[in-house]
């Protein structure tokens, strides 16, 4: 029986980041039954970004005359987009393997199972062997939710209906696509296939699109998608999937034809099937219950990434992995969830961090400026919907939230996240110099307005 300082179950962002860090200080074993990188790298954020880059180029070509450029005959080759996606994933996966080798982490491709505790140590079986460790990190990720819709199981079996694991591997783009769920994944997927000229319909059960995103950000993105031809049906639920489309009921009732259907109604933490119950770990409907140090109710047992349900984002998983490893090593560390940004990678991009405050909230002051304040924004786009909104804590004089719908929003939000996380006084932040001309200059303008 081989002993370790740490065993990690799951090789996604939380798992491989924790293994890379921990292996420098203690003997570490990472057990992953599939491919390293998890959902994000193999069938989520990275594949979707290669698709969206293709959509962005296609959109530029379609509207090139706005910029004085002729692009007659430009067309998107979906099979080439798939090939490029595969190449990108392989390149990044190889990078993860190299980083783990360099750190000294041991990697076992197998299905791990928690047998329980023995002599105060965790016992995990995999590939016919048993391994023990002082610490255990569960990073088993999440799965797409499959709601009890009539006909959904048959449609999934025939591959007419797919989740994120299948949508980015379709060899032929559908001429008509129905997206069940109007969240971020649904919007990003709709953006790509609409750019290819397909008919896309998004059906959302609630009145709000893009979930908990800032309302102004969501409105800009939805308007942009509508201009691309995407149809949105809200406050309506799909009640049946047929061989040719879907039936929906609610504020609107009807039938939408579809060559393909994307099921995108959320994700749930994976907490069953690998022996978690043998440790008496506390869970709830969101996942494994942890504190801000990633500790569970079981000493030495940590949970990071989607499996704890706190914030199902890859960059959150990285930070949670760091906090978990630091606490294992006796270095106090907590995750500040108030300073975790989120990005919607449509065109334009939407990004948010921190609180969203109403104009009449007595504790906050909000300023919203048009993106046209940026010379680069005006030079690079004919779109005038863009904006940046900052929310300040009046009593403390610090930034509490930021929301943007502009090109490069996903890059700009990093600077705003730093201001929030470090609690830099607004008066000090106003002295930061931004390069001109950049879209990021909007931060300077908005700070001055505060």
Q: Per-residue pLDDT tens for 28-49? A: 999 999 999 999 999 889 999 9
The reply to whether 293 and 239 lie within a common domain is no
pLDDT at 108 over 80: yes
End-to-end CA distance of the chain: 62
pTM for the full predicted model: 0.95
Q: What tokens were used for 30?
A: 């990472």
Q: Which pLDDT band, with edges at 50, 70 and 90, does 359 fall under?
A: low
**In-domain check, residue 33:** yes
- 269: nearest Cα among 320, 220, 226: 320
Residue 228: half-sphere exposure toward Cβ, Cα within 13 Å: 33
Dihedral angle of Cα 422, 19, 113, 294, to the nearest 10 degrees: -20
Quick: pLDDT tens for 127-163.
999 999 999 999 999 999 999 999 999 999 999 999 9
The reply to whether 16 and 63 lie within a common domain is yes
Of 63, 78, 315, 436, which one is the catalytic site residue? Answer: 436
**In-domain check, residue 68:** yes
Asked whether the CA dihedral 204, 208, 214, 219 is positive or negative, the reply is positive
Show Cβ contacts of residue 212 under 8 Å, excluding neighbours closer than 6 positions: none
Rounded Cα distance, 404 and 313, in Å: 18
Mean pLDDT value across residues 197-212: 95
Q: Which pLDDT band, with edges at 50, 70 and 90, does 345 fall under?
A: very high
Residue 69: half-sphere exposure toward Cβ, Cα within 13 Å: 10
pLDDT at 358 over 80: no
**In-domain check, residue 259:** yes
Mean pLDDT value across residues 324-338: 97
Of 337, 358, 382, which residue is a domain's last?
337
Show Cβ contacts of residue 362 under 8 Å, excluding neighbours closer than 6 positions: none
DSSP code for 425: B
Is-catalytic flag, 63? no
Of 315, 337, 359, which residue is a domain's last?
337
Cis omega (within 30 of 0) for bond into 253: no
Rounded Cα distance, 114 and 112, in Å: 7
pLDDT at 273: 95
Q: Give me the number of domains the chain comprises.
A: 3
**In-domain check, residue 342:** no
Label residue 430 left, alpha or beta by phi (over 0 means left) and psi (-120 to 50 means alpha).
alpha
Q: Which domain holds residue 391?
A: 348-449
**In-domain check, residue 52:** yes
Rounded Cα distance, 263 and 267, in Å: 11
Quick: pLDDT tens for 293-323.
999 999 999 999 999 999 999 999 999 999 9
Of 305, 337, 369, which residue is a domain's last?
337
| Residue 116, domain CATH | 3.50.50.60
> Residues 164-194, buried b or exposed e (16+ Cβ, 10 A)?
bebbbebeebbebbbbbbbbbbbbbbbbbbb
| Residue 421, domain CATH | 3.30.390.30
pLDDT at 366: 94
């Amino acid at each position: 029986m081989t002993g370790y300082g740490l065993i990690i179950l799951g090789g996604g962002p939380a798992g491989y980041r924790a293994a890379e860090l921990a292996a420098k200080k203690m003997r570490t074993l990472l057990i992953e039954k599939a491919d390293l990188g998890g959902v994000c790298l193999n069938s989520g954020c990275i594949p979707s970004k290669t698709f969206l880059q293709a959509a962005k180029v296609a959109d530029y070509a379609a509207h090139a005359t706005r910029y004085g450029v002729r692009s007659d005959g430009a067309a998107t080759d979906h099979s080439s987009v798939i090939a490029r996606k595969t190449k990108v994933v392989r390149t990044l996966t190889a990078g993860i393997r190299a980083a783990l080798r360099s750190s000294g982490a041991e990697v076992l491709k197998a299905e791990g199972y928690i047998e329980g505790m023995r002599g105060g140590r965790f016992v995990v079986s995999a590939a016919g062997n048993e391994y023990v460790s002082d610490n255990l990190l569960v990073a088993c990720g999440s799965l797409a939710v499959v709601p009890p819709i009539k006909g959904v199981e048959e449609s999934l079996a025939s591959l007419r209906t797919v989740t994120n694991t299948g949508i980015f591997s379709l060899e032929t783009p559908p001429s008509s696509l129905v997206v069940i769920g109007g969240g971020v994944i649904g919007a990003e997927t709709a953006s790509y296939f609409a750019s290819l000229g397909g008919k896309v319909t998004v059906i959302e059960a609630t009145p709000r699109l893009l979930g908990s995103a800032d309302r102004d950000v969501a409105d800009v993105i939805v308007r942009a998608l509508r201009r691309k031809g995407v149809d949105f049906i809200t406050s309506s639920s799909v009640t049946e999937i047929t061989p040719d489309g879907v039936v929906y009921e609610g504020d609107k009732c009807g039938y939408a034809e579809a060559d393909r259907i994307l099921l995108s109604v959320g994700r749930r933490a994976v907490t069953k099937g690998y022996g978690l119950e043998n440790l008496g770990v506390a869970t709830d409907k969101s996942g494994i219950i942890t504190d801000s140090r990633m500790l569970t109710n079981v000493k030495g047992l940590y949970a990071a990434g989607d499996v704890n349900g706190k914030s199902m984002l890859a960059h959150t998983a990285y930070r949670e992995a760091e906090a978990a490893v630091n606490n294992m090593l006796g270095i106090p560390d907590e995750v500040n969830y108030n300073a975790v940004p989120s990005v919607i990678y449509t065109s334009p991009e939407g990004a948010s961090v921190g609180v969203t405050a109403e104009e009449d909230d007595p504790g906050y002051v909000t300023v919203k400026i048009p993106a046209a304040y940026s010379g680069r924004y005006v030079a690079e786009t004919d779109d005038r919907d863009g904006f940046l909104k900052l929310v300040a804590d009046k009593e403390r004089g610090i930034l509490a939230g930021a929301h943007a719908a502009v090109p490069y929003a996903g890059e700009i939000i990093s600077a705003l996240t730093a201001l929030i996380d470090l609690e830099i006084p607004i008066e000090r932040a106003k002295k930061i110099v931004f390069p001109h001309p950049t879209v990021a200059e909007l931060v300077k303008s908005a700070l001055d307005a505060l």
